[in-house]
Amino acid sequence: MAPFLRPGNSRWRGLGQLTPLLLLLAGLVLVRFSKGAGFTDAYALISRPFWPGPAQREWIVSANDVQQTSRLKLLERDNQRLRGLLSLQQRGSQVGLVSAAVIARRPRGWWQLLDLGKGALQGIAVNDAVLGPGGLLGRVSSTTPATARVKLLTAPGHEIGVWLPRSRSHGLLVGMGSSRPQLRFIDRDLDVRPGDLVSTSPASTLLPPNLPVGVVQAVNEQAAPATAAVVQLIASPEAIDWVQVMTR
């Protein structure tokens, strides 16, 4: 005789088979509306024993201190640079000095030329001396009504007569296409030392006399045909935003 199946038992059996699916759907709906917050909290609770300990926290605090110190140093340097630029602009208001912004440089000619945002309309002319913070940068090589091009002292082959006040020696400053030009002398036996100031010659007719130029960094007494030296310019050409042009 065949077993008798009650309709109610069949219905409950069907619901029991659907229960895992219903629970899965309920879980997905819960995740959808909670945006996974529950799983995040559960993960945080489970992973708490593996969180970074006090040593790593100290490393992070130390790194933050270093970062803050570095930022303060950079801000201090930038502040000094801006003060120098402001001083340039203030001095530029004097008679014979025109302050001008550097508006263009060429990567391949970084040590050769720079372009200024003022020109002949402001009284700038060819061969005018161009000053950066602290010293001579170069000379104006050409002008347009609104711009001027400057040939830097570091440009290859650029030569100017200079003077060493301590030893009262004359020399020729020659651009080498790098950050430091070379100082050449006529005589071999000269009293030249690292740290000597280099200025424009008192006898110069192309440039104003006694303008600071640079400081002797190294002396080569074996150079031929006479002693030579490496000069660090006071007004470093690689980081110039504004200049002064000494108009005649």
pLDDT in tens, 80-106: 656 665 655 554 444 488 999 999 887
Whole-number percent of the chain with pLDDT over 70: 62
pLDDT attached to residue 5? 47
Residue 209 exposure: Cα atoms within 13 Å on the Cβ side: 7
Distances (CA, A) of 246 to 69, 125, 135, 226: 40, 9, 12, 33
- Left, alpha or beta for 156 (phi > 0: left; psi -120 to 50: alpha)? beta
203 within some domain: yes
Query: In total, how many domains does the chain have?
Result: 1
For 193-248, write each residue's pLDDT tens digit: 999 999 998 877 788 888 899 999 999 888 878 888 999 999 888 878 889 999 87
238 within some domain: yes
Residue 150 near residue 173 (C-beta atoms within 8 A): no
64 within some domain: no
Residue 227 near residue 239 (C-beta atoms within 8 A): no
Residue 114 near residue 102 (C-beta atoms within 8 A): yes
125, pLDDT greater than 90: yes
Can you tell me the distance from the alpha carbon of 16 to that of 26, in angstroms, rounded to the nearest whole number? 15
- DSSP assignment letter at 243: E
- Average predicted confidence (pLDDT) for the chain: 77
Name the β-bridge partners of 143.
148
149 within some domain: yes
Whole-number percent of the chain with pLDDT over 90: 33
Close Cβ partners of 35 (under 8 Å, ≥ 6 residues apart): none
- DSSP assignment letter at 206: S
56, pLDDT greater than 50: no
41 within some domain: no
Q: How many residues in total does the chain contain?
A: 248
pLDDT attached to residue 2? 47
Cis before residue 49, ω within 30 degrees of 0?
no
- Cα torsion 23, 27, 30, 36 to 10°: value is 170
**If you average pLDDT over residues 127-135, what whole number do you get?**
91
Can you tell me the distance from the alpha carbon of 193 to that of 220, in angstroms, rounded to the nearest whole number? 10
37 within some domain: no
- Identify the band that residue 146 occupies on the pLDDT scale cut at 50, 70 and 90: very high
Strand extents, DSSP E, 4-128: 97-104, 113-116
69 within some domain: no
Q: Which of 189, 135, 198 is nearest to 166 (CA)?
A: 198
- Identify the band that residue 38 occupies on the pLDDT scale cut at 50, 70 and 90: low
Query: Which domain CATH number covers 175?
Result: 2.40.10.340
Distances (CA, A) of 14 to 8, 20, 22, 229: 10, 12, 12, 99
Domain that holds residue 203: 91-246
146 within some domain: yes
Residue 233 near residue 214 (C-beta atoms within 8 A): yes
